Structures are given as structure tokens and as C-alpha cells.
Structure 1
């Protein structure tokens, strides 16, 4: 059985974006202040929660948009520190990914693209599939796991099933 680029990337990103929205709902229901959550980092040399959430969007929908235009650059804008805005950004990314077609993703295979970070004079060439599978997808999971770990560390009532979210099971039959 062959697997498409779409199947290798999009359904799991949709799953995790939905999960993250659930974590944020639980964080909003906690006694913690939005600003305290947004600014929390696991280690001094790591970026805070709000950046982790922003990066989930950047390495899912933003990665697809980067492939479409042939370049992807880091988003250097300040992240939203309001939990509801973070949740809405994740939801918007999820909805946009749901609107993608398998055909569009497959049309990217073999397409040249570049990761460009002008501030550090970096230009890394990729094929679209290698960018998505070896750069954005691992980054997406790193930021998702870090965001989850921050909430867990802060005492938000999230567990493994919250992390996994809505898993895709075989149809009953």
C-alpha cells in the first residue's frame, strides 16, 4: 500500500491542532492567568508557551503556505498571549488544513522550495516533500509536545489522551 504525502502529514496535523485547542480550553478553565501561561517556559533557553502555540500554526498551515509560494521563513511577529486568540488561531489552521485536497498536496511532490532566514543569512534548499516531512513535521511535533508539557508542568489537568486527541480508528464493520 502506498501512502500519499497528504496522508503522511495532514490528518495528524489536524488531529494535533484539535488536541491543542482542547488543552487551551482546559488551561482557560484553570486558575492560572493567561499571561502567566503565555510567558511560561520549561527552561531559560526555551521559548514560552505562546511561541510554542504560534509555531504549531507556522509548521502546519504556514508550512503548506510556504510550499505553495516556494519559500518558508520564520515568523518573527510577537505571538498572541491571550489563550482564546491562541485557540482560535489553532482552529483556523485546522479548518484551512481540512479544506486542502489530496491532489494539491500531491502536486507539490518534487517541487523546489527554500527555508530562508535572512537575519542569519540562511537559505536551505528542499523539495516540498522533504521540507514538510523532515523540517516542518518534526518542528510541529516539537512545539506541540513543548506546549503540552508546559501546561502539564503548570498543573493544567491534561493527560495522554488529551495529547492524542481524536485518534483515527478503523470503521466498525
Structure 2
């Protein structure tokens, strides 16, 4: 199997369109939200994702981030969004990383593999500790985080949802 994570600008348009169309047909909330297309063309998305990596995003209340996709040959299986730093909102919910696997490919261990690949990349960039969160009821995501050596920190109750927070120490 040729599983790898690639930066957004290395994904073929046809692979992305197949991936995002499946999400849209499922009528689920697309995770990570950064991989959503809305009304944008693929070229517009590439431009938006490039801007997301710059300081320009501070003007909108965001932090710089990079979107990667998990691919096997040319099929896009999932997406993982790495936020380069934390603001107050991301510290409570969201963390450094958000990820999702397309509906038809869940249950194959892809989320764990994708997360581990990304953690290797960010460790090589000098990150020492990474915060990852998930909704309290999302046991699959909690298990994925724990399988990547995520250490449960606490629960944060926000309005009607409870967020579980995990830290991953990349130095250990």
C-alpha cells in the first residue's frame, strides 16, 4: 500500500473532487472544515490554502495552518489540518490538529496512520508538544489520539458540547 500524506498543492484536482463529493453526498459535517470547498473552484481553494499558511489569516482571527491529505495512489482517503500555533479558542477546542476520513474508508485504521505521519512531520519541524481535541462522544477519535500516545488532560464544557483535550509529547 502506498499510503502517504501530501500537502494540499500535491493533490490532483480529480482526487480532491472525488473525495469532497463523497463527503458532501453524506450530508455529514466535513472534517476538517478546512478541506471543505463551498462554492470555490479547485484553483481558488489552492489559493485559499496557500494564504492559510501565512500571517494574513491573523486578520480574520485565525492562526497559520497547513492542510494535508492522506492518499493511496491517487485516491484521497482523508484530510488532516495542522494549525501552527494555538489561540484561546484552539486551546479550548480544536487544538493543533483536526482530521477526518471520507465516509467509505472509515474503520480501516487510516486516521491513526495519517495522524502518526503528520506527527512525524511536525516533530521534524521542531514542535515538542501537540494538543489534539475531540468531542466527548467521538470514541473513535479518542482512540486514535490515544493510539498516538495522546495523554488525556481534561474535559472542557462549552455550551452544549464537551471537549476532551489530549497532549502528545513529541520529545518522548
- Does TM, scored on the shorter chain, surpass 0.5? no
TM (normalized to structure 1)? 0.30
Where relative contact order (Cα < 8 A, 6+ residues apart) is larger, the structure is 1
TM (normalized to structure 2)? 0.30
Q: Which of the two has higher C-alpha Rg? A: 1
Normalized per residue, which structure has more helix? 1
